[in-house]
Amino acid sequence: MAVTFVSFLISFALLNRVLNTGRISYWLGGWQPPWGIEYVLDYLNVFILLIVSFIAFIVSLYARRSVEKEIAEHKITTFYSVYMLFIAGLMGMTLTGDLFNLYVFIEISSLAAYTLIAVGRKRDALMASYNYLILGTIAATFILLGIGYLYMVTGTLNMADLRERLPALYESNVVLTAFAFFTVGLSLKLALFPLHTWLPNAYTHAPSVVSAIMAATSTKVGAYVLLRIMFTVFKVEFYLEVVPVTKILLVLSSVAIIAGSVLAITQTNIKRMLAYSSVGQIGYIVLGAALINQTAMTGSLIHILNHAIMKGALFLVVGAVVYKTDIEDISGLRGMGKKMPYSMAAFTIAALSMIGVPLTVGFVSKWYIAMGALNAGMWYFIPVILLSSLLTAVYFWRIIESIYFKDGETEPRTAENSEIHNPKSTIRNRDDAPLSMLIPTLILAGLCIFFGIFAFLPVSIAEKAAGLLLGGL
């Protein structure tokens, strides 16, 4: 808790520094880039760094009781060590200005993530971790090949240096191949449909704390890396004049938004439902970026923050329910509004935000993306956003209806549902989660409303970051 809190304070101080004095460049070992490794802080990655450090702190506040419940005692120390390694990897991915250094941090965070998923008591977690390991290794290989090809033709690994050298080589088959490897590898990492197959099982079978931190940070940092390479290493002109990859991403993101919502409706396990929901929400981030205008890009960046807050809150509530009742099945949540009123209130606020109700953060990012689609002359993406919001309302409303408007009788325990329904589920009224779990959850739920009302606070930073990515387009 102390380390993540100090990291958050430092991130906040760095944000203030960047807003006041501009870009920060740090040369490791005093070696001047492009020869040495450079760490860079600008409007974009300081925004992401603050999100990662804040969520890491909130989850560490929440973790103790949940970890004791879901992880064997002899593995707890290992869990916290690997948790810190995972956060360090994500922060390194965010900070570095060197492509190979980026790959190293991707591997650090990925190896830690595989371990975090597998460390729980569930046997299925091992298979989920192994599946993620295989696909993650393929993704990392693609990314490394892309880095190697760019180094082959430019002789540099520094992102800013690559940005200056690549335009003369845009027509090169080596550069085009490198970009293809980057796009596929990073799409796998951030679980863009249809390369999302590792994500549902990983989120479902991992310990609740791991599901929360990965859903709130891991795929968001993956999205940041995709945006960084697409719009910093390469320039906007590359997509407008050479490779129309944004048209492909527009189609894939639209399918992701609808398919994620449809698949979420069909789920009976609440963790799996939230996992498929994440597939749809990742589609929003990619859609906003692929529209290539400042309004939509601002919506995309804001959605990285908003989804981290919303999905973090939802998974923390699910973790609290698992802690108190061992229930993960949606049908087992009947009447839970009376038993765990504060946790369910947090769930409801985050769910309304996911739907995009005005005065919540979910509305803000959807509004910016929709306005960006209009500005780009692509109004036909607005019905996609509206349809997804309606589908989101369907799968969240059935849970809200169940927890508030149905009694708390659970189904009889059978062989099929023995892992879902537990005698412990008949908890007494008003037996909410411990304060150590409840307070972090309520903080995230409160931020869903706070940033929905005072949206100008994150939007002001996201607009500057969007302008930076698009080069004043």
For residue range 82-108, what is the model confidence (pLDDT) as tens digits? Answer: 999 999 999 999 998 888 889 999 999
What is the band of 13 on the pLDDT scale with cuts at 50, 70, 90? Answer: very high
Confidence at 12, pLDDT banded by 50, 70, 90: very high
In whole angstroms, give the CA distance from residue 8 to residue 55. 9
- The whole-number pLDDT of residue 322 equals 85
| pLDDT value, residue 53 | 92
pLDDT above 90 covers a percentage of the chain that reads 18
Q: At what angle do helices 294-325 and 341-355 cross, to 10 degrees?
A: 160
Instruction: Mark residue 30 as left, alpha or beta (left: phi above 0; alpha: psi -120 to 50; beta: remaining).
Output: left
Q: Which of 23, 116, 10 is nearest to 53 (CA)?
A: 10
The pair of three-digit structure tokens given for residue 448, joined into one six-digit string: 């869903």
- Reported as a single tens digit per residue, the pLDDT across 105-120 is 999 999 999 999 888 7
Average pLDDT, the chain: 85
Q: Which of 6-15, 69-78, 85-94, 365-374 has the lowest mean pLDDT?
A: 69-78
| 34-63 mean pLDDT | 89
Q: What is the pLDDT of residue 103?
A: 92
Q: Is the pLDDT of residue 426 over 70?
A: no
Question: 329 falls in which pLDDT band (50, 70, 90)?
Answer: confident
Q: What is the pTM of this model?
A: 0.85
Average pLDDT over residues 462-467: 86
Q: Which residue has the higher pLDDT, 18 or 427?
A: 18
CA of residue 330 relative to chain centroid, distance: 23
